A and B are shown apart, each in its own frame.
Chain A
């Protein structure tokens, strides 16, 4: 039997294709917050983020009829949001430098990356302090809408790269949080 979520996404897309107002509103209601959270981590200011989200919705409404695999709706939504955000960054000539992950930083072997990432406030703060590539992969990971394979699909990189980037991103986040903690002490 297929995954319940996949069936739900297919049903939602089908109803949206029938131009049903309730389905379109449900689509927005379900995805507005996570998409905005993701976009907000990619673009500098809130005004740009709203602009990117609006453009994302426009592309979603225009492209719904052509969506080939409706069960992969979240991947498609995040991909569109990412592409629009990248275009926004490109317009500001920031994409090339910001999307390169900084994996040169050295961490001690004793670093325990199996942190209890349960403090939303600290994670939220920490995300704003790490590189864009790390922030992006960690945001998608924490939002829990996508599997690693799906994150790879959104970022257009191999799954192995997602795993290693996630590993480095967690270490970077941990380092930032520890630094912050020690500065308070």
Chain B
């Protein structure tokens, strides 16, 4: 592109004199999109989710009583598992409520984080509910049902950990790949810039 063309392009763009009020209005709306500002309907939806979160937290407190009472591995495993679900429910409730009140999803509080916490909370909740009868049997006769229970529960936790681990590894790999690609592109851009300057120098 020659200097002449550049100038013509710029001059053409300068010919367009937009209405300042309308321009400002659009810029505000675009800024709102960029900042992840939420509409009233979305804020209400998040408020509803926070309400559901409170119900989950209360129910987690309720199902805590189902867990094995003896001080052995079953209690430690199920207790940790329950704690994971309980913390997820608390964090999920806090984040949805905070986002609803604040009216935006900032760069830190991402929709994906809310979704991830919600998924962990529901997964743990469903497992605990599914094994509700097992919990009752275990409490009634720990010696008889412990082996069976330990196996089943360990498998469930194992799958959860495998999926969570995979997800975390993939995220780290993606982030590293993205950063490496950015560095490579920066180097390539500098080289292209340098080559252009050398070429320009030769022509002069």
A residues neighboring B (CB under 8 Å): 1-4, 7-8, 10-11, 14-15, 17-19, 21, 24-25, 28, 33-34, 36-37, 40, 46-47, 50, 53-54, 57-58, 61, 117-118, 120-121, 123-124, 142-144
Contact = CB atoms under 8 A, between A and B. Distances in A.
Contacts of A17: 178
Contact of A46 (B5, B9, B22, B34): B22
Nearest to B187: A7
Tell me whether chain B's interface is mostly helix, strand or loop, or mixed.
Answer: helix
Contacts of B182: 11, 14-15, 18
A47 B8 contact: no
B77 to A, nearest CB: 37
B40 interface: no
Nearest to A53: B26
Q: Categorize the interface residue count of chain B.
A: 35 or more
A7 B192 contact: yes
Interface of B: 1, 4-6, 8-9, 11-16, 18-19, 22-23, 25-26, 29-30, 33-34, 107, 178, 181-182, 185-186, 188-189, 191-193, 195-196
A4 B19 contact: no
A92 B71 CA distance: 74
30 contacts: A3-B192, A4-B192, A7-B185, A11-B182, A11-B185, A11-B189, A14-B185, A17-B178, A33-B13, A34-B13, A36-B18, A40-B16, A46-B19, A47-B22, A50-B25, A50-B26, A57-B30, A58-B33, A117-B8, A118-B8, A120-B11, A120-B15, A121-B11, A123-B12, A124-B12, A143-B9, A143-B13, A144-B1, A144-B8, A144-B9
Tell me whether chain A's interface is mostly helix, strand or loop, or mixed.
Answer: helix
A123 B16 CA distance: 12
B178 to A, nearest CB: 6
Contacts of A15: 182
Given A21-B34, A50-B25, A144-B1, A8 B189 contact: yes
B34 A25 contact: yes
Contact of B188 (A7, A24, A28, A117): A7
A144 B107 contact: no
Contact of B5 (A10, A61, A144): A144
A120 B188 CA distance: 36
A33 B186 CA distance: 26
